[in-house]
Structure 1
Amino acid sequence: MVKAYLRYEPALTFGVIASPESNVVYDPSGRLLLAAALDRLAAWDLKRGLPSITFAPSSSSPSLVIFCIASSPSAAASSSIASGHADGSIRLWDAETGACEATLHGHRSAASALRFAPSGAVLASGSKDCDVILWDVVAQAGLFRLRGHRDQVTDLLFLDSGKKLVSCSKDKFIRVWDLDTQHCLQIVGGHRSEIWSMDVDPSEKFLVSGSADPELRVFRIRQSAEEGEDWSKWDVLKLFGEIPRQSKERVATIRFNKNGSLVACQVAGKTADIYRVLDETEATRKAKRRMNRKKEKALAKSMATEGNGTVIDPLPAKDLQNPAVIAADVFKLLQVLRASKKICSIAFSPSNPPKGCLATLSLSLNNNMLETYSVDSEKVSKMYSIEMHGHHSDVRSVSLNLEDNLLMSTSHNAVKIWNPSTGDCLRTIDSGYGLCSAFVPGNRYALVGTKGGTLEIIDIASGSSIEVIEAHAGSIRSIIPIPDEDGNIGARGFVTGSADHDVKFWEYQWMQKSDTDSKQLTVTNVRTLKMDEDVLAVSIGTNQVGKQYIAVALLDCTVKVYHLDTLKYCLKLYGHKLPVLCMDISSDGTLIVTGSADKNLKIWGMDFGDCHKSIFAHSDSVMDVKFVYKTHYMFSVGKDHTVKYWDADKIELLLTLEGHHAEVWCITISSRGDFIMTGSHDRSIRRWDRTEEQLFIEEEKEKRLEESFEADLDNDIEHRYGQKDDTPDEGSVGVPGRKTKETLTSADAIMDALDTAEEELKRLNQHKVEDLKNGNGARFQPNVIMQGRSPSDYVLNVVSNIHPNDLEQALLQSLPFSDALKLMFYLKEWSLVPSKEALQQSYRVICLVYFLQECKDTIGFNLAAMDHVKELLAMRSDAPFRDAKAKLMEIRQEQSKRSDRSTDGNERRKKKRKKASGES
């Protein structure tokens, strides 16, 4: 009989406040701050410091890491939040419910910039594939693709009520696109390095862009009424001037506030420069003061050189009375915001600021924090800070108490106590760099082993460290509780292993400092086991007869096993090519599993120390491994971002759990094995729950094989049908979507439905003919696959179940022409049916038909125009050649006439000579 196992699935993710890869924005209402947490979005209530809404995709994958987010300026828009992911997909979210309304596929690499049009109905996305795509948010489909940039698109913005689009890129150019005609109006250069961000004020008067240059560039935006010699016919942007920056780091983000009175320039460091935008009166006054200072300097210089006889021309009176306003006169440095850590992104709040403040500015920091500051004319003050809900760096160890209702995690400077069921942070305790941890029985105290070699005793109730013991001279790698003869874990004390070559045994003691104080826990070293190498891991196990062993993994790639009571040498396990980083002994004491930096797991017998099996487990170092209690099932985690579930008896891989986006450092398993907890370098803690769904080894093998085939198929599609060339045409326009696995599946579904409906129509017609011929009135047996629907309704049902974006790409790129003609056959019937779905699908297909016809007409018109232009150019280019050719013909004709005349003269002279000779 085939053995069945229970499946583990992702259940909860917590510990991440803001990903450093993405930006932060406010929601349309301005009440919540949206921050990306790896593959999820969270809307934070800054006053309460709690997430109000969580936006999570249906599946968790490293390819879904969010790189950019955007919020619609119109709160009435149906899909008011958009997120761009690492796989190039764009997801549209409902701001009220947190539901994902659509997934748009068009980019071939990570999305890097998103911006909604002022109406909220159009979304522009830029990517690392150098393309810009315009999306119809209402129809959830792509409009067109704009090509021209030769490097990653870094920022986007709309002008002229959404009629024009401005894009900047790492290719050092800014492009202005006319969305009505879908072509590039203007290419703006001038930056000497990669452009990283830009923004426009609400009145659309100025555009500010920033790069690694030491100044910001300010452009004036052409208004519809502006005409004259200063502007060329097609220009939209014109350089107004430059603003010197305070920092030497490159610009990361530039943003205007809601009313355009402030502009913030955040650099790739710890500072953000805040400039005030002066009105015309203030700017003119500042320009006059600048000219007066210039005049004073000129007068002082002329007085100094007067004795030398040098004459300096004074400044023109016109320049003094009506000085020209430059960018430095309009933008005045107001404040410099300095954060505690590197700033990743900034966002101005669109809501009204508190009384006495000019604006509210929110920051995301690279240490997993969100901060909000109030900006006024005198200072910048911190208002809110969100940091309790996550570690500031990677999670190095996790451990559960005996009741599985408390979870402890350690990081470089803090210990956090969590509720593993809800993900709520209960306590945050300052500590050293914790590499390992364990709960003390009773759930009142906990132990933390640090990188500095200290052992910290944590009081969970008070949330404080009550004692720090100098336990080792090197970093402590393992803290393992010692079970007693009855199986009570940790009742007798614990063992620590360190890089100072020592394995120390500790016992619990209670100490009372005075008669009024309560007793507090302390520990005492009772035994020490000296080793020859650094101790990397320690594990304790008890066999079936009650005999206890301690296994010690050393830096020389070996594992030594000792009797726990006498510390006498028992076994030596060798075979790993690199040091053993983790190990565990099964609860019955028969097996020991070791994980190494050589990417292998080895399963050993504890009786003779023989290696049962060596498994190539991970594609990078194995960081932790644990047995499920009272079973031979085990979990391993590694630097390849995966968690793997194994059967140690059959030596089979049962399941691969993907979800972490960086190295997985640690794992802990509940006492009943109903859930596991993992901690990662991406600062997240994930819970994986055991479900009632069964899994079978053969099915999982087939599924992994299919996934590898699908990955090869995706690569083949990208290679064969990729729409992007290495050198795109200047300002070209392309199809917005791309062929994906979903579009191919959709096209196959439509073709199968058309074939099934065609066969059904043939059977139905044949039945009618036979019924008329025989007159027996036999009943027609419909096809079971169609579930009682008519052929038209069956095709309509299949087409309606396809996502609009996938349907458009399937019809335009994947559906054969013959099948497209078959689909047209049903349009008339769908249009006559009083059904909303039928009318929608008819409208979509008809729109595609008209779209193709329009494209055909446009191409024909363009070809005819190009032929005409070609003829005109040929006529113009051939005119001098025709004149020269005519002259040449005239010369040749004249030469031929001359030669004819000379020939005739020669003949006459010959005749005369012959005649004269005859007469003589």
Structure 2
Amino acid sequence: MVKLYHRYKPSLAFGVIASLEANICYDGSGKLLLSPALDQLGLWNLRQGVCAKNLCASSEIPSPALAITFVASSPSTVATGHADGSIRIWDCDRGTCETTFNGHKGAVSVLHYSRSGSLLASGSKDTRIIIWDLVGEAGLFSLCGHKDQVTDLIFLDSDKKLATCSKDKFIRVWDLETQHCMQIIGGHQTEVWSLDVDPEEKYLVTGSADPELRFYRIKHDTPINGLSSSHTENKWEILKQFGEVRRQSKDRVATVRFNHRGNLLACQAAGKTVELYHVLDEVASMRKAKRRLKRKKEKASSKGVDEVNGDANLGTFTAEDSKNPTVLVSDVFKFLQVLRASKKICSIAFCPLTPSNDTLATLALSLNNNSLEAYTVKNSEVIRTHAIELQGHRSDIRSVALSSDGTLLLSTSHNAVKIWNPGNGSCLRTIESGYGLCSAILPGNRYALIGTKTGALEIIDIQSSCCVEVVEAHSGSIWSIGLTPDGNGFVSGSADHDIKFWEYQQVQKPGHGSNHLTVTNVRTLKMNDDVLVVCVSPDAKYIAASLIDCTVRVFYLDSLKFSFPLYGHKLPVLCMDISSDGDLIVTGSADKNLKIWGLDFGDLHKSLFAHADSVMAVQFVRDTHYMFSVGKDRLVKYWNADTFELILTLEGHHAEIWCLAISHHGDFVITGSHDRSLRCWKRSDDQFSTEEEREKRLEEMLESDLGGINEASFGFKQELPEEGSARSSAKITHETLTKADLLIEALDVADVELKRVEQHEEEMRHGKASALQPNPIMNGLSPSDYVLDKLSRIQPNDLEQTLLSLTFSDTLKIMSYLKGWASIPNKVELICKVTTVLLQTHHSQLTATPAARPILSVLKETLHERVEECKDMLGFNLAAMDHLKEMMSIRSDALFQDAKSKLQEIRSLQSKRIEDRMDGKMKRKRRRQKGSNELLAAA
């Protein structure tokens, strides 16, 4: 009978706030900060300090290939680029992935939306730039010309042009209408890492490892904001050099960005600093240029230099220069101040919200210690306003431990201990500590023990979130802590060659009414070498110790007498565990092997080549002989120690895995990694056999070779594109081949169904058949509708490559259905795309095939009529929308005029009342004056 196992599936990934290799940016509203966290995208509310939502690209099977490498936002959507070259478009409100683009063969290095939001440009490590149509959900074309990784790009001239920079030290300007390179700019001595354009598209700035920032003026074919730029003699010269500004930092430039108002420029160095420059407007820059010229004149006059002839150092200046001085780059970009962070800065982002009057901008930073910070930039100072750092460790996670009931998770790092809720991944406590190499939660789940790199034992009170006592236990690093089965103590192994036995005690601090836990050393076992791992058998009979000399020594726990050694590993044993029944002991070593031993005689049962790198942790599932192992190869593996079979391989971590912990009932597993993440793998109700899993792994190995497949593999001639030109953006993937197989299968099923229908009609004519039963495979659809349904399910971005994978006979089958499909109004665009791709691919064969000529002649007339009908309908709808827009504007103007007239009436009434009051006051004053005069005359 086949043995069935329960499958473990990825459940949670938490602990990472910001990835090191990806950028951050704000969403369209400016209220949430988008921070990539490995293969997830976190939406952080900096004011509240909480993660509002997590967008995960790998909900089923996490993979390091899906790590987010770049993120860009528009008012309605968010785009993420991944390490495998794919691009995903997200709807943040619903938290769903709208579409996936596959075109790059390398990791996506940069993404940028057009101003209209209908286009998306992507650059990659494969040196290509692809322009994507977000409305049609397809790639338009690919631009080839750079010789190295594309580092940054930006749209110019109302999305008609594109400026790109690369590690090849060149800047290229592309015309998106002709799909060719218009201008190539050199001059940089090192790789160009970033570029940006101000909101008014007057200046373009580039940053590299050179000691200065380079600025260029932009020439526009059309006026921008009502202002047309000056035309140069060379019509292909879009960027004209404006000048250079020397930087303060010696590190290379990582990012240059303008804020959304265009009055501030930030230059992030590949270090801890961000240089801020104030961008002056035309009036202020002209004023500064005049002051500069005036100082120059005064300096010349003080030296007695003639204004016309000038001086070699001071230059010449005329009366025309005094009226209209030449504006230099130093007159426009004024150095403001330097922002210094506590750690190395990975990425910066300006908030798009309009700041207050005394604030220039709000700048967010992602640091390399897994934290986010937000700063308020003012004219005189930079103030840190928010920080996100409690939701993750500052460095890699070295140990994890679970409470007996599985409700608390403890993790240690170089300076802190964190208590987590493994159910939802929320951080409950953060406690400062030393460099924790090992840890354990004591029985009762109130206290925890931390073994540090300095040799100290720290006792943590979980409820009060404080360290109650620090015991100087060893003179070397404590590598392992093993709890005794009786629950009264534990054992510690250290680099000082000692194995120490400890007991718990409750003591009362002077001046405190409550007791707290302390430990006392009761026995010490001296060893000849560093102790790496200690483990106590569940029956309290043996204690096993792993030494750095590659051996494991087993002692009797009561008398500490040597029992037997375990020889066989070629490198030190880094981890081991004993099964709950005390029959087996498993050891994992730096030699990449797992060895399973019998604990009664120390005989070797099996040696398994387990991981591609060092085995870092291994543990049995309680009351079973199943075990989990993790290693530096980033994999989690599930084993059967009785049959020595690999049951399951779990992939998801992006770096070396250091530790693992299994719940008391074995229903979930927690792993901690060098990528600073904690991952939870839960046991599901799905059952599988090892044979199924083995076949699945073989299929994955075969499919992994798909990366070498190109057009030449299918018989297509592969031509190198001309430098600076465009080519198709499509890419052959496993998904496109799968969809092509499904489409071919649908064509075959429809062909069989058509024959069955013809046979039934023939039998009906002879009166030998009953009613035709619908085909259950086709869900009751007709052959034409069934094939159209399968074709409509193909994403527009994969449509071209899917059709290219079809044979010529399958192409003829599809073309036989096109006439009927063209009559469906909402499928005209799809049918036109299919027809165009098939004609471009098989033009010679179609024109030479007599059976295809009638189909082509019919399609020529039918498709032209349907396209004209669609154009008329779209034109009518656009005209109606313009009419509605005008009506709404007239109505709003009318409402504004009514409000304005009412306001004028109110103001006129108020002024009339004021005049009446003034007239009344003057009349009363005259009467009083007249009365006083009469009294004086009578006197």
Task: Tell whether the structures are fold-level matches, with TM greater than 0.5.
Answer: yes
* 2:831 is the counterpart of 1:842: yes
Query: Do the aligned partners of 1:46 and 1:384 also contact (CA within 8 Å) in 2?
Result: yes
SS of 2:471's equivalent in the other structure is: strand
* Residue deviations 1:333-354 (CA, integer Å, cap 9, x gap): 1121000000000000001224
Structure 1 residue 141, shift from structure 2 partner? 1.1
What is aligned with 2:929? none
SS of 2:327's equivalent in the other structure is: coil
Query: Do the aligned partners of 2:712 and 2:718 also contact (CA within 8 Å) in 1?
Result: no
Structure 1 residue 322, shift from structure 2 partner? 3.0
TM-score normalised to structure 1 length:
0.87
* In 1: Cα distance, 2:231 partner to 2:354 partner: 41
* Residue deviations 1:846-888 (CA, integer Å, cap 9, x gap): 46468879999xxxxxxxxxxxxxxxxxxxxxxxxxxxxxxxx
What is aligned with 2:409? 407
> Structure 1 residues 145, 534: CA separation in 2 closer, same or farther (over 3 Å shift)?
same
* Residue deviations 1:582-627 (CA, integer Å, cap 9, x gap): 0000011000000000000000000110110000000000000000
Structure 1 residue 525, shift from structure 2 partner? 0.9
* In 2: Cα distance, 1:711 partner to 1:611 partner: 36
SS of 2:737's equivalent in the other structure is: helix
Counterpart selection for 1:624 from 601, 617, 641: 617
What is aligned with 1:44? 44
> Structure 1 residues 608, 817: CA separation in 2 closer, same or farther (over 3 Å shift)?
same
Counterpart selection for 1:802 from 771, 774, 794: 794
What is aligned with 1:149? 146
Query: Do the aligned partners of 2:374 and 2:384 also contact (CA within 8 Å) in 1?
Result: yes
The worse-fitting range, judged by mean Cα deviation, of 785-794 and 21-30 is 785-794
> Structure 1 residues 576, 123: CA separation in 2 closer, same or farther (over 3 Å shift)?
same
SS of 1:818's equivalent in the other structure is: helix
Structure 1 residue 804, shift from structure 2 partner? 2.1
Counterpart selection for 2:666 from 673, 689, 692: 673
What is aligned with 1:333? 335
* In 1: Cα distance, 2:691 partner to 2:640 partner: 14
Query: Do the aligned partners of 1:298 and 1:314 also contact (CA within 8 Å) in 2?
Result: no
Structure 1 residue 298, shift from structure 2 partner? 4.2
Query: Do the aligned partners of 2:808 and 2:842 also contact (CA within 8 Å) in 1?
Result: no
RMSD between aligned residues: 2.4
SS of 2:85's equivalent in the other structure is: coil
What is aligned with 2:816? 825
Query: Do the aligned partners of 1:722 and 1:738 also contact (CA within 8 Å) in 2?
Result: no
* In 1: Cα distance, 2:387 partner to 2:821 partner: 57
What is aligned with 2:635? 642
SS of 2:676's equivalent in the other structure is: coil
Structure 1 residue 15, shift from structure 2 partner? 0.1
* In 2: Cα distance, 1:231 partner to 1:606 partner: 88
* In 1: Cα distance, 2:151 partner to 2:637 partner: 37
The worse-fitting range, judged by mean Cα deviation, of 500-509 and 775-784 is 775-784
What is aligned with 2:350? 348
* In 1: Cα distance, 2:82 partner to 2:573 partner: 36
Q: What amino acid is aligned across from residue 118 of structure 1 in structure 2?
A: R
* In 2: Cα distance, 1:515 partner to 1:386 partner: 37
* In 2: Cα distance, 1:258 partner to 1:12 partner: 36
Structure 1 residue 124, shift from structure 2 partner? 0.6
Q: What amino acid is aligned across from residue 431 of structure 1 in structure 2?
A: S
> Structure 1 residues 749, 841: CA separation in 2 closer, same or farther (over 3 Å shift)?
same
SS of 1:703's equivalent in the other structure is: helix
What is aligned with 2:779? 787
Query: Do the aligned partners of 2:485 and 2:540 also contact (CA within 8 Å) in 1?
Result: no
Query: Do the aligned partners of 1:150 and 1:727 also contact (CA within 8 Å) in 2?
Result: no
* In 2: Cα distance, 1:432 partner to 1:189 partner: 51
SS of 1:702's equivalent in the other structure is: helix
Counterpart selection for 1:687 from 680, 686, 690: 680
> Structure 1 residues 279, 106: CA separation in 2 closer, same or farther (over 3 Å shift)?
same
* Residue deviations 1:348-377 (CA, integer Å, cap 9, x gap): 000122452111000000100000000010
Structure 1 residue 663, shift from structure 2 partner? 0.2
Q: What amino acid is aligned across from residue 436 of structure 1 in structure 2?
A: C
Map residues 424-503 of structure 1 onto 2, 5 A cutoff: 424-484=426-486, 491-503=487-499
Structure 1 residue 769, shift from structure 2 partner? 2.9
Counterpart selection for 1:697 from 690, 693, 696: 690
Structure 1 residue 230, shift from structure 2 partner? 3.5
* In 1: Cα distance, 2:612 partner to 2:255 partner: 37
The worse-fitting range, judged by mean Cα deviation, of 505-514 and 839-848 is 839-848
Structure 1 residue 315, shift from structure 2 partner? 4.3
Unaligned runs of 5+ in 1: 485-490, 857-920
Unaligned runs of 5+ in 2: 846-939
What is aligned with 2:287? 285
* In 1: Cα distance, 2:553 partner to 2:54 partner: 48
* In 2: Cα distance, 1:527 partner to 1:297 partner: 86
SS of 1:587's equivalent in the other structure is: coil
* Residue deviations 1:393-419 (CA, integer Å, cap 9, x gap): 100000011111110000011100001
Counterpart selection for 1:388 from 386, 390, 393: 390
> Structure 1 residues 842, 498: CA separation in 2 closer, same or farther (over 3 Å shift)?
same
* Residue deviations 1:269-309 (CA, integer Å, cap 9, x gap): 000001110011211222223233434444556689xxxx9
TM-score normalised to structure 2 length:
0.86
* In 2: Cα distance, 1:246 partner to 1:237 partner: 25
* In 1: Cα distance, 2:739 partner to 2:679 partner: 34
Structure 1 residue 480, shift from structure 2 partner? 1.1
* 2:102 is the counterpart of 1:71: no
Counterpart selection for 2:699 from 699, 702, 706: 706
Q: What amino acid is aligned across from residue 805 of structure 1 in structure 2?
A: N
Structure 1 residue 685, shift from structure 2 partner? 0.3
* In 2: Cα distance, 1:587 partner to 1:313 partner: 89
What is aligned with 2:517? 521
SS of 1:161's equivalent in the other structure is: coil
Query: Do the aligned partners of 2:619 and 2:628 also contact (CA within 8 Å) in 1?
Result: yes
Structure 1 residue 786, shift from structure 2 partner? 2.3
* 2:30 is the counterpart of 1:30: yes
* In 2: Cα distance, 1:344 partner to 1:547 partner: 51
The worse-fitting range, judged by mean Cα deviation, of 277-286 and 595-604 is 277-286
* Residue deviations 1:815-854 (CA, integer Å, cap 9, x gap): 23332232122122223357x5x55643542464688799
* Residue deviations 1:505-531 (CA, integer Å, cap 9, x gap): 111112212254321211111111110
Query: Do the aligned partners of 2:219 and 2:231 also contact (CA within 8 Å) in 1?
Result: no
Q: What amino acid is aligned across from residue 7 of structure 1 in structure 2?
A: R
* 2:12 is the counterpart of 1:16: no
> Structure 1 residues 313, 184: CA separation in 2 closer, same or farther (over 3 Å shift)?
closer
Map residues 150-299 of structure 1 onto 2, 5 A cutoff: 150-223=147-220, 224=222, 230-299=232-301
Query: Do the aligned partners of 1:302 and 1:312 also contact (CA within 8 Å) in 2?
Result: no
> Structure 1 residues 760, 464: CA separation in 2 closer, same or farther (over 3 Å shift)?
same
* 2:101 is the counterpart of 1:112: no
Query: Do the aligned partners of 1:410 and 1:437 also contact (CA within 8 Å) in 2?
Result: yes
Structure 1 residue 439, shift from structure 2 partner? 1.1
Structure 1 residue 717, shift from structure 2 partner? 4.0
What is aligned with 1:755? 748
* In 2: Cα distance, 1:719 partner to 1:671 partner: 55
Structure 1 residue 94, shift from structure 2 partner? 0.4
* Residue deviations 1:310-338 (CA, integer Å, cap 9, x gap): 99986444434432111111000112100
> Structure 1 residues 165, 464: CA separation in 2 closer, same or farther (over 3 Å shift)?
same
Q: What amino acid is aligned across from residue 482 of structure 2 in structure 1?
A: I
What is aligned with 1:915? none
What is aligned with 2:580? 587
SS of 2:822's equivalent in the other structure is: helix
Structure 1 residue 763, shift from structure 2 partner? 2.9
SS of 1:832's equivalent in the other structure is: coil
Query: Do the aligned partners of 1:796 and 1:841 also contact (CA within 8 Å) in 2?
Result: no
* In 1: Cα distance, 2:262 partner to 2:327 partner: 18
What is aligned with 1:889? none
Structure 1 residue 726, shift from structure 2 partner? 11
Q: What amino acid is aligned across from residue 263 of structure 1 in structure 2?
A: L
SS of 2:537's equivalent in the other structure is: strand
Map residues 884-903 of structure 1 onto 2, 5 A cutoff: none
Q: What amino acid is aligned across from residue 508 of structure 1 in structure 2?
A: Y
SS of 1:826's equivalent in the other structure is: helix
> Structure 1 residues 228, 495: CA separation in 2 closer, same or farther (over 3 Å shift)?
closer
User: Among the aligned pairs, what percent are the same residue?
Assistant: 60
What is aligned with 1:890? none
